[in-house]
Amino acid sequence: MPRESSAEERMTAVAQAHTAFRHVRTSTSDERSRWLVGIAEALEEHRSALVAVADEETALGAGRLNGELDRTIHQLHHFGDVIAQEKHRRAIDQPGDPDASPQPRPSLRQMRVPLGPVAVWGASNFPFAFGVFGGDTASALAAGCPVIAVEHPGHPRTSELLAEIAQGALGECDALRGTFALLAGRATGASLIADAQVKAGAFTGSYAGGRALFDIANSRPDPIPFFAEMGSVNPVFITRQAVRQRGREIAQGLVDSATLGVGQFCTKPGLVFVSDGVDFVTMVEDRVANVAPAPMLTDSIAANYRQRRSEMMHNSAARATFANASSADESEGSAAVLVIDHKALKESWSVLSEECFGPLMVIVTCDSDSHLVDWAQQTPGSLTATIHASGDDPNDRATVNLLVDELQDSAGRIIFNGWPTGVAVSEAMHHGGPHPATMNPIFTSVGAQAIDRFLKPVTMQGFPDELIPLWLRGGTPLA
């Protein structure tokens, strides 16, 4: 049975976070930067133990987990650098103007301040980078918000070890008790987001889980922001010319990306539209046949994958190709391809246009490049959309422009001649998208701007310089 924190444990964690907020909100950016760097160094120090425990619980393998831990440590340093430079404050200094019309204008200085204690849910597929001390927790702390994290039942011991290491590092940096806490359990999570002293939530996981918590957050007497990253089909559009020029390369890239991590990436390309794609389908099927079944994160995730795959097969006109499905045991996922003509897709759209979490891809064969644009108008909100086209063909350039025009409405990141798996932690990254991929397309959960989710603007009017924080006095001036 998954662990469930008691009501007393939850109330204690919330009360301590509320108390700690008075200190955390007034801490300097340099202080919080030291906290993040201290945690990063502690994670590095305990790397072997973390990777060993996470591998036992997730079967992701030491190579993948070490790489993910590298990313986790990097993003802690990244957020530390961002706040040390006060970039997150978005300070604006507008001097007063006694001659302004129609009336004099007082001095206005705008800053961003932390919201308050934040609840964070760890994800199943990235126990480090999106776990209880992943990017959501790091960005909330960087903003000046205490965090109460809820562990994922798929890797409880990893979550507990991460929490123990982080709390130890925070203690050594003189952070107040309650700056970070760990809880467990579905009922605990539901009551946590309903607690009046919790001021925001961040979640990565299934649509059903994210929607349920979002609804609680918005039905409170005082609704709060809830940032949920959920399912995404991440459509791919491949022109006829691209298939002719690079068909084998694209087919291999698709299979590699769709089966990476046994298809358990939120950015897995799951819905592929290809123009004149008969030969391309054969290339993909030949490559999928060589993909061996592999353990999925949990037995329940593997069972859900098989059930969803079966639903998609039996409720559509698609034909299926499997890779060694008969040799997969109950904990493993075997790769599969469903192929359907775009005309038949209309009847099966509701079934095939939803995410299948696992190594399955749906290929839609289209008669022309214009049909790619038609389907781009209908694809659901996704974290990413990918275009493969010829860069030197005038017709392809025109098609790309039309696709980009449409996909800006439905994707948070558009990739050209690449693949969406692999998300860079950087200033310009946007890891978000329209519903149902997330509950708010404006914000990202990766990169420096992830901090913005946990800050709110406040304007100080008419204050003399001596009563203004030093960092605010140097804000961006407005003429």
For residue 107, what is the domain's CATH number? 3.40.605.10
Q: Given the residues 68, 151, 229, 332, select the one marked as catalytic.
A: 229
- Same-domain pairing of 200 and 84: yes
The full DSSP string for 203-236 is EES-HHHHHHHHHHHHHSSS---EEEE------E
Inter-helix orientation angle 186-194/7-24, to 10°: 40
Q: How many CA atoms lie less than 13 Å away from 22 in the CB half-sphere?
A: 4
User: What is the domain extent for residue 250?
Assistant: 236-416
Beta carbons of 150 and 137 less than 8 angstroms apart: no
- Same-domain pairing of 298 and 264: yes
- Same-domain pairing of 260 and 380: yes
For residue 167 the two structure tokens come to 């709390």
- Same-domain pairing of 67 and 210: yes
Beta carbons of 330 and 303 less than 8 angstroms apart: yes
- Same-domain pairing of 208 and 246: no
- Same-domain pairing of 178 and 252: no
The answer to whether position 19 is within a domain reads yes
The answer to whether position 472 is within a domain reads no
pLDDT of 288 reads 94
pLDDT of 325 reads 64
Q: How far is CA 152 from the centre of its chain?
A: 15
Distance CA 390, CA 239 (A): 8
Q: Give the model confidence (pLDDT) of 404-452 as tens digits.
A: 999 999 999 999 999 999 898 888 999 999 999 999 999 999 999 999 9
Helix (H, G, I), strand (E, B) or coil at 151: coil
The answer to whether position 421 is within a domain reads no
The answer to whether position 364 is within a domain reads yes
Q: Given the residues 145, 266, 356, 366, select the one marked as catalytic.
A: 266
Q: What is the mean pLDDT of each run of 10 residues along the chain (479 residues)?
A: 92 98 93 96 98 96 96 96 87 90 92 96 95 96 97 96 97 95 97 98 96 98 97 96 96 97 96 92 94 93 95 89 75 94 94 95 96 96 97 93 97 97 90 96 94 96 88 63
pLDDT of 246 reads 96
The answer to whether position 16 is within a domain reads yes
pLDDT of 479 reads 41
Q: How many CA atoms lie less than 13 Å away from 392 in the CB half-sphere?
A: 1
- Same-domain pairing of 167 and 34: yes
Specify the number of domains making up the chain: 2
229 is catalytic: yes
- Same-domain pairing of 295 and 312: yes
CATH of the domain at 290: 3.40.309.10
- Same-domain pairing of 352 and 371: yes
Distance CA 454, CA 27 (A): 15
- Same-domain pairing of 211 and 294: no
- Same-domain pairing of 370 and 246: yes
Share of the chain above pLDDT 90, in %: 86
Distance CA 148, CA 203 (A): 12
- Same-domain pairing of 184 and 241: no
The answer to whether position 298 is within a domain reads yes
Main-chain phi, psi angles of 321, to 5 degrees: -125, 130
The answer to whether position 426 is within a domain reads no
Inter-helix orientation angle 29-45/156-172, to 10°: 130
